[in-house]
């Protein structure tokens, strides 16, 4: 089932999200939510989605990038589901890259992010994982963990002059990206 993606301005996107307790890991409701988050992300052609973007104040995120139409010139990564993610290390080296957000449709902005990060999380099976990722994948993890902490990419832009309407972004890069508005 595709869920409605809430937009910037909705208080849930600025609020706190709750960690998933160990006893909820096997619950059908959590599995159902994650299944719906994955289909919602794919339908909206997103590369990541945080639970509060579908109106659930829980520390759950999904991400995937395979031949993505909204991000055509980035490295792929497989579907991943993380509960209670926490970034434990940020590289001092940072790089600027374009980001959009399903909760702010129709815009892109240049955001500096650590080029490499380490994070810890639980899988849906309750296994604790620690991963080090770099490049676009590291950018997506930082973007989604930011959502779970009530931040948007626009909060991370030191210079708002790069903020670009998708129409102008498409013209600049000769692309034809469309963000879904629902
Ligand atoms: Ni976003």
Write out pLDDT tens, residues 2-58: 999 999 999 999 999 999 998 888 888 999 999 999 999 999 999 999 999 999 999
pLDDT (average), residues 142-164:
97
List, in sequence order, every residue forming a beta bridge with 86; answer none if it has no partner. Answer: 120
Q: How many CA atoms lie within 13 A of 51 on its CB side?
A: 25
Q: Among residues 99, 144, 167, 168, which one is catalytic?
A: 144
**What does the pLDDT average to over 143-153?**
98
Tell me the C-alpha distance between 69 and 62, whole Å.
Answer: 18
Q: How far, in Å, is the centroid of ligand 1 from the Cα of 143?
A: 6
165 alpha carbon, distance to own chain's centre: 19
Residue 29: name the closest of 124, 154, 110 by CA.
Answer: 124
Contact call for residues 152 and 53 (beta carbons, < 8 A): no
Q: From the CA of 8, how far away is ligand 1's center (Å)?
A: 9
Asked about 120 being catalytic, the answer comes back as: no
For ligand 1, a single-atom ion, the residues with CB < 5 A are: 101
User: Picking from 3-7, 130-134, 174-178, which range would have the lowest pLDDT averaged per residue?
Assistant: 174-178
- Residue 182: the pLDDT is 65
> Residue 36 class from Cβ within 10 Å (0-12 exposed, 13-18 middle, 19+ buried)?
middle
- Cβ-in-10-Å burial (0-12, 13-18, 19+) of 139 comes to buried
Give per-residue pLDDT as tens, 60-95.
Answer: 999 999 988 899 889 999 999 999 999 999 999 999
């Amino acid at each position: 089932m595709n869920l409605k993606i809430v937009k910037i301005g909705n208080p849930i996107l600025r609020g706190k999200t709750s960690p998933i307790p160990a006893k909820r890991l096997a619950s059908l409701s959590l599995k159902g939510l994650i299944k719906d988050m994955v289909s919602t992300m794919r339908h909206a052609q997103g590369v990541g989605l945080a639970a509060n973007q579908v109106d659930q104040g829980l520390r759950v995120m999904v991400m995937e990038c395979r031949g993505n139409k909204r991000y055509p010139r980035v490295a792929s990564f497989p579907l991943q589901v993380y509960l209670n993610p926490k970034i434990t290390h940020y590289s001092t080296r940072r790089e600027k890259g374009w980001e959009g957000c399903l909760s702010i449709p129709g815009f892109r902005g240049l955001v500096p992010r650590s080029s490499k990060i380490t994070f810890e999380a639980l899988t849906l099976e309750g296994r604790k994982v620690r991963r080090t990722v770099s490049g676009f994948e590291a950018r997506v993890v930082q973007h989604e963990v930011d959502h779970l902490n009530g931040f948007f990419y626009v909060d991370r832009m030191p210079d708002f002059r790069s903020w670009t309407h998708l129409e102008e972004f498409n013209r600049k890069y000769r692309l034809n990206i469309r963000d879904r508005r629902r």
